[in-house]
Structure 1
């Protein structure tokens, strides 16, 4: 178990604790016999909490999470909250969306952008591939992400009118998904943190985007080690991933 004093609990940690309190039985994740850190949900021997640091960012994120998504050890949305200080997280509810969530979307402080594939947009929303200061009117970008499987994300979008009223930030990356834990059904479908890294770059913070991508890479490698998918005779690979993340953090400062 990781000492929570290492770093403060963020929005996804808090949502995890809330969602866990609603459960009548333990969440049956693959590898449920693995002893996990309570915060990063990695195996305790591969815990990365001591490396977590906030980035200096002018961006904000909102994660709208599908039911038990926040309970999954493979969820990469929590990695965004690990690094971006102003991150908000809510459970999706089709009929009773959180009042606080709707207030943030309507706030004079934020300019929301839905991060979503263009091919699923149905309501004539403005589509863009980058965020420029001229679009913001002195507001802070609020990057809204639907966190769940692609089928769940499409359902959230189609069943939530408030998501169909904001501009859309969309990408068509040429690279293959490197999300080795839970790949999408199509090659262009990336993990939540990977898409967030692209969005951060598109919003004018490329070094922060690289830092999040390296944090994601370390998360994937640590998860695979916990699944016995990497040889335990040597930890050289994991040390290399740690080093790459630390270097990216230093470059972003």
Structure 2
């Protein structure tokens, strides 16, 4: 029989993170497009980000038929948070009068690229990337490349950049608790052996 889970954070009731999820307002609107393969992931950080931000929306799918309407938010300038040679540094947008609608694909790099391929209006958006970010707090897996962050870390870093001097560290509290919980469940010895190389 499956363990009872919290309907909000979707964690097992004994490990509910809702008390740690903040209720943050932001000038920036965040639209997270999550690949379906991420939904059941134990560390579903996109869901935690969407729950912690009032001005955020999480959509799950591969093809988003209503994407043109989602992207056409009056009063917002729309950008895709996705690194690449053609991506502008997000710092260039920090002084903008017009707030951003920041579109964030959530999935492995391969799945995120697939979302762009299947949704041409997404791929056509101007791209932005983070400047040098702090190392990932995601200590449970090796980062594929220097500067790689989980979705919630990327969103918090982007908001810190766009809305400085405001700080969005509170968004990472449930994420940090999730990581600590996973490490505790596997045991310190196993964690050190498998993840501290």
Q: TM-score, normalised by structure 2?
A: 0.79
Greater Rg over alpha carbons, structure: 1
1:43 Cα deviation after fit: 3.7
Q: Which whole-Å CA distance do the structure 1 matches of 2:169 and 2:109 have between them?
A: 24
User: Equivalent of 1:103, from 59, 69, 72?
Assistant: 69
Residues 1-253 of structure 1: matches in 2 within 5 Å?
36-94=5-63, 97-99=64-66, 101-119=67-85, 121=86, 127-130=88-91, 131-134=93-96, 136=98, 140-173=99-132, 175-225=134-184, 227-229=185-187
Q: Which whole-Å CA distance do the structure 2 matches of 1:221 and 1:69 have between them?
A: 20
Q: Tell me the SS of whatever aligns to 1:179.
A: coil
Q: Tell me the SS of whatever aligns to 1:71.
A: coil
- Give yes or no for contact 1:60–1:84 (8 Å, CA) kept in 2: no
1:108 Cα deviation after fit: 1.9
Q: Flag the 1:228–1:152 CA change in 2: closer, same or farther, 3 A.
A: same
Q: Which whole-Å CA distance do the structure 2 matches of 1:204 and 1:152 have between them?
A: 29
Q: Tell me the SS of whatever aligns to 2:68.
A: helix
- Give yes or no for contact 2:76–2:100 (8 Å, CA) kept in 1: yes
Q: Tell me the SS of whatever aligns to 1:108.
A: coil
Q: Considering only aligned residues, what root-mean-square deviation do their CA atoms show, in Å?
A: 2.7
Q: Tell me the SS of whatever aligns to 1:156.
A: helix
Q: Which whole-Å CA distance do the structure 1 matches of 2:129 and 2:118 have between them?
A: 19
- Give yes or no for contact 1:172–1:188 (8 Å, CA) kept in 2: no
1:64 Cα deviation after fit: 0.6
